[in-house]
Structure 1
Amino acid sequence: MSLRGGDPAEIGGYPLEERLGSGGMGTVFLARTSSGRPVAIKLIHQQFAGDDEFRIRFRQEVAAARRVSGAFTAAVVDAAPEAEQPWMATTYIEGPTLSQRITDQGPLNGAELRRLAIGLAEALRDIHRVGVVHRDLKPSNVVLSPEGPRVIDFGISRAVDQQTLTMTGRVIGTPPFMSPEQLQAPRGVGPRSDVFSLGTLLVYAATGHGPFDADSPYITAYQVVHEEPSLGAVPMALRAVVEPCLDKEPERRPSADELLVLLRDLPVELGESESEVGTGTGRSEAGRTRDMATQHHLTTPTDRTPTGPASTAPGASRTSSTASTESTGTAIGGRLRRRWRPVLAAAVAVAAIGGGVASLTTGGVGGNGADGRGGDAGRSTAAPAGTLPDGFEPWRRTVPGGREDIPDELRCVARGDALFCGGGGVVATRLDARDGSRVWTAKSPGVPVQGMHLVGATDDTVVGYRIADQDAPQGPPQEVVALDADSGRELWSAPSGAQSTAVTGRSMDAVVVGSAVVTVDASNSRFEARDAHSGEIAWTTPFPAGAQCAPVPVGQRLLAMCATEAEVDDLQVRRPTLRTLALDSGTYGGTVTVEGPVVPMGVADGRLVLLSKHYEGTAPAGYDGVARVDPATRKVTYSRLGRVYDGTPGMADGTLYVSGQTGLVTAFDAANGRKKWSRQTGVEGASGPAAGSGAVYFSSATGRVVALSPDDGKPLWTTDPQADGLTGQQNASPRVTVAGRALFVAADDNTLFAFDAQRPPRSS
């Protein structure tokens, strides 16, 4: 990747040759020493230079990397952690990461797998012998050099004799490769946590997937702590070594030295897996991975699981030894098309991490189109601007769902003195907006589905999703359910499809438009429109031949966004079509083709606004343009953003926003794509925006909220975290619901809290 405008010519006297990757915390460059030796330089972003906590962590990273420099890691060549813009140079290691290797060529086997296992065990032995715990051993932190595997990136490591640096409300790591103790008590993590991570990594190398994979990092984390690993596809000789590494109790796992002895006794050819012996077939789903991101200090788009076009990224085989990487997991469309296969049904999950956004029409519930102009589905009408509901007092509540053992998040919409919320284990619940007291709750018995929250509400009806219990497979796996707003009584239900994310990049298989609910049927073959309260079917309309579609509301209009089945199957939705869909009859109107891939954002001046996705090779790397579609004239206009912006996109009051993993928020004019302002905040992994009461609000899974001026991005106030949630995720729908001066905020573990926007909780 060539240098970009604004990149320095040299760092610390080392001339830069090219950019290897960039992420939330910094950028990695390829440079040369005076003798011509290649080095990888990690340059920390300027906005973190003044963050004392970050400087402490970076100093610890440099110290840990120096402490363990050896044959199986990247040696530190030079570093300046106290520089105005801190940096560190390490030896450059030529070769792909393990995640790139698996993605490109599928799982390892035989002698190659055995060499990897032994090499990683040797690396852990050396790391642990000098008293360091890596804490982030995962496929993107393993480089396959010609000399053998190298372990890189000590960004969240620590010395055993050192106080762990962990901020309140933040869990640091990567759930599919974290140990149970790291998820439950990160301050007490020891060397055998790395052994557990190595076990998960070897399963991934042998099968292309982790032993606890699920469609949500929340569910993955639950399975790491409580469930047995899935090892059926692991070669039996290797499985005998991996199983003790994955014991839930650290003291029952082997040490790195003991593990190395076990691995050296393995046969050169590891043989077949249990599943291959039983079925006579090889591994399926080879090469697929769910290396989900939580909170990283540096991510490189060159090392993500492909979700876009099938072209090869230039220089894809070159990976910096210091570039910590991030994968978005299963490619768009791929997971949902496989969602209800029996072997995966129990692994489907609801979370706002890495998932699609729910709907364009909702203010608190709805996707990133928080305009409040997209229909009645989620418009907040609790109080006029500048007022509070009568008798309102700040409150905090937790809403138990059908699966209380699984952490989840809700999304809400306010109407009058009622707050309706739903998501995951909760089809819907009604709370009193004034004090948070619960009026009624309808629970969902199954494992939540990622990104699916409350569908919306009308004056007398609330609509949500119900996921079937995995132990009752005879019913529909997923249903749209309508409830009476006053009593919570179920009015009707209908089986629902699960293909919209493949088309739009969002979970929006059902939408509320006016007094109608429009759904995708269970076979993903047609639209169905019902009266929201009675459930009476008004019309059904088949998808165009050879297409998969999703409903997209545009004010009181409805569009069908479609892609060919071939595009969906190949994960390459490059030219989606938009058709008007008459609300009274379901009749299709004229067709508009949009140059994609694009994601619907919301409505501005009667036009549908979409963001254009940018790819670097096969990896999605943010957004680089805006498209606007006029449904009346079928005219499409395009604007460029000037550069690529990575993060969670959203729209509020005609302004587009992209909030980065580390809290950088950038605002754009939706009419022309021009940048309005950019502001660094302290809210990592912020969800899409919500606007009202003279501010625009962003919030993370921890419940931390920041209020910014919509005019210039000036920070108005920030709250402290309210819950222990994962941070750094992307593409979460807005967690803040605005009703006059009242703000209702959703956080991890079904936590809801409310306060006066003019009197926010004081930040310490």
Structure 2
Amino acid sequence: MSLRAGDPTEIGGYPLEARLGSGGMGTVFLARTSSGRPVAIKLIHQQFAGDSEFRIRFRQEVAAARRVSGAFTAAVVDAAPEAEQPWMATTYIEGPTLAERIAAEGPLNGAGLRSLAIGLAEALRDIHRVGVVHRDLKPSNVVLSPEGPRVIDFGISRAADQQTLTMTGRVIGTPPFMSPEQLQAPRGVGPRSDVFSLATLLVYAATGHGPFDADSPYLTAYQVVHEEPSLDAVPTALRTVVEPCLVKEPEGRPSADQLLELLRDLPVDLGGAAAPGPAPGRTRDVATQHHLATRDTEAPGAPAPEQTGSPGGRGLRGRWRPVLAAAVAVAAIGGGVAVLKAGGFGDEPDDGKARTVAAPAGTLPHGFTPWRVTVPGGQEDIPDELRCVARADAVFCGGGGVVATRIDVRDGSRAWTVKSPGVPVQGMHLVGATDDTVLGYRFPAQDDPEARGDEVVAVDADSGKELWSAVSGAQSTAVTGRTRDAVVFGGDVITVNASDTAFEVRDAHSGDLTRTAPFPAGSRCAPVPVGTRLLAMCATDAELDASEVRHPALYPLDPASGSWGEVIAVDGPAVPVGVTGGRLVLLREHRDGPALTGYDAVVRVDPASGKVAKAPLPAPYEGTPGMADGAVYVSGQTGRVTAFDPATGRRKWSRQTSVEGASGPAAGDGALFFSSATGRVVALSPADGTVLWATDPRADGLNGEQGASPRVTVAGRAVVVTAARNTVFAFDAHRPPKSG
């Protein structure tokens, strides 16, 4: 709707275009950034601006929204909580609210209802993962965008470790979608209150009414606290999942992680009652997992796998487990792009200083037995995934709440662990390792007044003693599509300085600063090793500030002298995926407006000559890109893996697997390994994609984060896998855990 008389014409320097809506606390306007990017600005009503209690709440809303900005929420662009009339600008999400959609077209059903449920559960998972409780999930706070549902409005959210602030004399929320504890004792509300609210939201989406609807808000609130939900009109399969979410006691409900797993196993059509045993329409039937890869893909004569552990004990416990017995075993969707190996990118060797593996190809480390460990981190309530590298008889892992840990590749015993006290940054894992030094990231505790910021930390490989640390900038995700702000390069480590203005070159073991290489004017950069050469991938400040990097540039960089070579222009936004023949390989992004819809071309860059070659793919391919053994791979969310020739863009083969949303590949022992956050692993033949074997989940997993890097490390015949909740396990590639 157009602006009204009395509406401002601009807020915080953003010109206003239209009024999007108004509520009890504020008005939301459509505005534009200087680059033309649309944003939604929430302007608090003037009568609340002088209320100190309300200002505290609004500051908490801004902080919470900043913490949870992700794929299923609206990212904060700017905010001024201390302004005379406070405001906050977020990414504008085009689409109707769930309330508008149901009012206009009636309840959802089938695949649309299932997609909504999964998207909202993923959003809730992301919100809870960073320690925030939303506390106001309702149909008007869900926007149905073309890319999927988005959760908005964190106006009464709170950090899980802070005391709830309630407006004096009021209970804040919307009764039909509030939990019993929120109505009775709002100061004690935790993450499982959101699970209750999400279940009421899904009932509303499926039926057009809530499970506790009554003639007045007071009767509705009474029924929420005391009565059983009305679920007769809910499709049987969905009811099986939402019913345990609506129990009165929070501890009896599943977590958002567990709910997401169960929703992903619903039938695609959400039809009638599920029949016993494997049923048509299910997305993942355990009975067929090992044979899911289309006919004629089983490897003839493949070695019989040996059961080395049980996939059971996956957290389906307590009063709600029996209700969910009909659900099949779960898997999780992962996403992301390839990881920089310690000392090099993709397949290319470096100077040899950081490439020692645990065992020669085709052999097991001496004394190896299958093992599984859980590595304790600094944030026990925010589990994460680790990433590992193999060196001699050790596997070094890090990520999330763990700077680094040393694990014996033979039996899984841990020699030492260095923890990180703060909230993990999504996608930032181990930096790498040399023969004597392990490098990882440390995130400071939020209540630490002496915290310097996110740091790169060097640890002695033998003792685990901290050697040195340095504050590091964090622009790599925006510049390259990866989360990797430091890399091991030979015996050095290349980091971005704290102000995001230069590379710092340090001796990996001593930490001595040997060189500083300032970025080109008006740019920010990330390091990209290409074998024994180093490239800087840069984007302009203007594109980064607008969150739209469309014209990245590459520069050869000499770390010894700090000198920059001539700029190498890259055609369109692109993501580095690996190295072959001394050339950096990138995949060009295919976009529909701001939305990434896949990859449509392979780009090869020769750092020595500056020459760029481009080969189009047969069509845009969506999924997680990676590279191994001279081929490019894209693994889709449904489990399909497609291989491409990086020189021609020609599709070599495409194979359906049972590992949905896997990251990878890792190559070793004549196979390619892809795995998901649940620890489900599939081994494919590099020649034609034949499925050699596949395993069941090994961890209580969930959707892997966008930008996920390969989770498998190969040490000879030993396959070391990282999974959700800091789980690490290993088995013999010739005797994988049995599936089914």
- The structure-2 alpha-carbon separation of the partners of 1:439 and 1:257, relative to structure 1 and needing over 3 Å to count, comes to closer
- The structure-2 alpha-carbon separation of the partners of 1:250 and 1:426, relative to structure 1 and needing over 3 Å to count, comes to closer
Within 5 A, what are the aligned runs for 1:265-414?
Answer: 357=337, 359-362=339-342, 370-371=346-347, 373=349, 379=355, 381-414=357-390
2:618 counterpart SS class: strand
Instruction: Give the structure-2-normalised TM-score.
Output: 0.63
Structure 1 position 148 matched with structure 2 position 124: no
Q: Which amino acid aligns with 1:654?
A: G
Structure 1 position 199 matched with structure 2 position 119: no
- The structure-2 alpha-carbon separation of the partners of 1:706 and 1:149, relative to structure 1 and needing over 3 Å to count, comes to same
Alpha-carbon distance in 1 for matches of 2:334, 2:730: 25
- The structure-2 alpha-carbon separation of the partners of 1:447 and 1:200, relative to structure 1 and needing over 3 Å to count, comes to farther
Structure 2 equivalent of residue 696 of structure 1: 672
Q: Which amino acid aligns with 2:720?
A: F
8 Å Cα contact 1:424-1:452 kept in structure 2: yes
Alpha-carbon distance in 2 for matches of 1:601, 1:557: 16
Structure 1 equivalent of residue 243 of structure 2: none
- The structure-2 alpha-carbon separation of the partners of 1:502 and 1:355, relative to structure 1 and needing over 3 Å to count, comes to farther
Offset at residue 373 of structure 1 (A): 2.7
Alpha-carbon distance in 1 for matches of 2:574, 2:339: 15
- The structure-2 alpha-carbon separation of the partners of 1:243 and 1:720, relative to structure 1 and needing over 3 Å to count, comes to closer
8 Å Cα contact 2:97-2:140 kept in structure 1: no
2:412 counterpart SS class: coil
Structure 1 equivalent of residue 217 of structure 2: 262
8 Å Cα contact 1:359-1:511 kept in structure 2: no
Structure 2 equivalent of residue 52 of structure 1: none
Structure 1 equivalent of residue 659 of structure 2: 683
Structure 2: tracts of 5 or more residues without a match: 1-27, 45-71, 75-94, 145-149, 183-188, 201-209, 221-258, 267-331
1:590 counterpart SS class: coil
Alpha-carbon distance in 1 for matches of 2:737, 2:428: 29
Offset at residue 388 of structure 1 (A): 1.0
Structure 1 equivalent of residue 326 of structure 2: none
Structure 2 equivalent of residue 454 of structure 1: 430
Offset at residue 752 of structure 1 (A): 0.6
Offset at residue 361 of structure 1 (A): 2.8
8 Å Cα contact 1:531-1:537 kept in structure 2: yes
8 Å Cα contact 2:138-2:174 kept in structure 1: no
- The structure-2 alpha-carbon separation of the partners of 1:293 and 1:763, relative to structure 1 and needing over 3 Å to count, comes to closer
8 Å Cα contact 1:689-1:734 kept in structure 2: yes
Structure 2 equivalent of residue 307 of structure 1: none
- The structure-2 alpha-carbon separation of the partners of 1:618 and 1:400, relative to structure 1 and needing over 3 Å to count, comes to same
- The structure-2 alpha-carbon separation of the partners of 1:252 and 1:616, relative to structure 1 and needing over 3 Å to count, comes to closer
8 Å Cα contact 1:663-1:686 kept in structure 2: yes
Structure 1 position 709 matched with structure 2 position 685: yes
Structure 2 equivalent of residue 125 of structure 1: none
For 1:711-755, what per-residue CA distance to the aligned partner results, in whole angstroms no more than 9, with x for missing partners? 000000011110111147653100000111111000111001001
2:178 counterpart SS class: helix
8 Å Cα contact 1:356-1:501 kept in structure 2: no
8 Å Cα contact 2:387-2:711 kept in structure 1: yes
8 Å Cα contact 1:609-1:627 kept in structure 2: yes
8 Å Cα contact 1:613-1:623 kept in structure 2: yes
Structure 1 equivalent of residue 632 of structure 2: 656
Structure 2 equivalent of residue 625 of structure 1: 601
For 1:22-49, what per-residue CA distance to the aligned partner results, in whole angstroms no more than 9, with x for missing partners? xxxxxxxxxxxxxxxxxxxxxxxxxxxx
- The structure-2 alpha-carbon separation of the partners of 1:402 and 1:260, relative to structure 1 and needing over 3 Å to count, comes to farther
- The structure-2 alpha-carbon separation of the partners of 1:578 and 1:241, relative to structure 1 and needing over 3 Å to count, comes to same
Offset at residue 515 of structure 1 (A): 0.2
Structure 1 position 106 matched with structure 2 position 40: yes
For 1:445-494, what per-residue CA distance to the aligned partner results, in whole angstroms no more than 9, with x for missing partners? 00111000000000110000000001104312200000101001111100
Alpha-carbon distance in 2 for matches of 1:457, 1:493: 15
Q: Which amino acid aligns with 1:174?
A: L
Residue number among 547, 569, 581 corresponding to 2:557 in the alignment? 581
Structure 1 position 669 matched with structure 2 position 649: no
Q: Which amino acid aligns with 1:556?
A: T
**Cα root mean square deviation, aligned:** 4.3
Structure 1 equivalent of residue 282 of structure 2: none
Alpha-carbon distance in 1 for matches of 2:500, 2:380: 30
8 Å Cα contact 2:135-2:194 kept in structure 1: no
8 Å Cα contact 1:156-1:172 kept in structure 2: no
Structure 2 equivalent of residue 435 of structure 1: 411
1:148 counterpart SS class: helix
1:502 counterpart SS class: helix
Q: Which amino acid aligns with 1:429?
A: T
Alpha-carbon distance in 2 for matches of 1:401, 1:144: 43
Paired residues, number: 524
8 Å Cα contact 1:362-1:370 kept in structure 2: no
Offset at residue 570 of structure 1 (A): 1.3
Residue number among 109, 117, 121 corresponding to 1:175 in the alignment? 121
Structure 1: tracts of 5 or more residues without a match: 1-97, 111-135, 159-170, 184-195, 214-219, 266-291, 299-351
Offset at residue 172 of structure 1 (A): 5.3
Structure 1 position 244 matched with structure 2 position 244: no
Alpha-carbon distance in 2 for matches of 1:589, 1:296: 49
Alpha-carbon distance in 1 for matches of 2:447, 2:389: 32
Offset at residue 541 of structure 1 (A): 1.2
8 Å Cα contact 1:362-1:377 kept in structure 2: no
Structure 1 equivalent of residue 532 of structure 2: 556
Q: Which amino acid aligns with 2:659?
A: V
Alpha-carbon distance in 1 for matches of 2:464, 2:217: 58
Alpha-carbon distance in 1 for matches of 2:104, 2:39: 18
Structure 1 equivalent of residue 10 of structure 2: none
For 1:577-597, what per-residue CA distance to the aligned partner results, in whole angstroms no more than 9, with x for missing partners? 111110211111111010120
Offset at residue 238 of structure 1 (A): 7.3
Q: Which amino acid aligns with 1:361?
A: K
2:424 counterpart SS class: coil
Alpha-carbon distance in 2 for matches of 1:700, 1:553: 26
8 Å Cα contact 2:481-2:707 kept in structure 1: no
Offset at residue 199 of structure 1 (A): 2.3
Please identify, of 598-607 and 140-149, the stretch whose mean Cα deviation from structure 2 is larger. 140-149
Alpha-carbon distance in 1 for matches of 2:531, 2:125: 47
Alpha-carbon distance in 2 for matches of 1:475, 1:536: 22
Offset at residue 239 of structure 1 (A): 4.1
Q: Equivalent pairs: percent with the same residue? A: 55
Structure 1 position 474 matched with structure 2 position 429: no
1:199 counterpart SS class: coil
2:567 counterpart SS class: strand
8 Å Cα contact 1:695-1:710 kept in structure 2: yes
- The structure-2 alpha-carbon separation of the partners of 1:476 and 1:353, relative to structure 1 and needing over 3 Å to count, comes to farther
For 1:278-311, what per-residue CA distance to the aligned partner results, in whole angstroms no more than 9, with x for missing partners? xxxxxxxxxxxxxx9987699xxxxxxxxxxxxx
8 Å Cα contact 2:334-2:661 kept in structure 1: no
Structure 2 equivalent of residue 606 of structure 1: 582
8 Å Cα contact 2:348-2:530 kept in structure 1: no
- The structure-2 alpha-carbon separation of the partners of 1:211 and 1:354, relative to structure 1 and needing over 3 Å to count, comes to farther
Offset at residue 620 of structure 1 (A): 0.8
2:478 counterpart SS class: helix
- The structure-2 alpha-carbon separation of the partners of 1:441 and 1:251, relative to structure 1 and needing over 3 Å to count, comes to closer
- The structure-2 alpha-carbon separation of the partners of 1:574 and 1:156, relative to structure 1 and needing over 3 Å to count, comes to closer
1:572 counterpart SS class: coil
Alpha-carbon distance in 1 for matches of 2:260, 2:593: 20
Alpha-carbon distance in 2 for matches of 1:470, 1:105: 28
For 1:122-163, what per-residue CA distance to the aligned partner results, in whole angstroms no more than 9, with x for missing partners? xxxxxxxxxxxxxx99988838459636442444979xxxxx
Structure 2 equivalent of residue 273 of structure 1: none
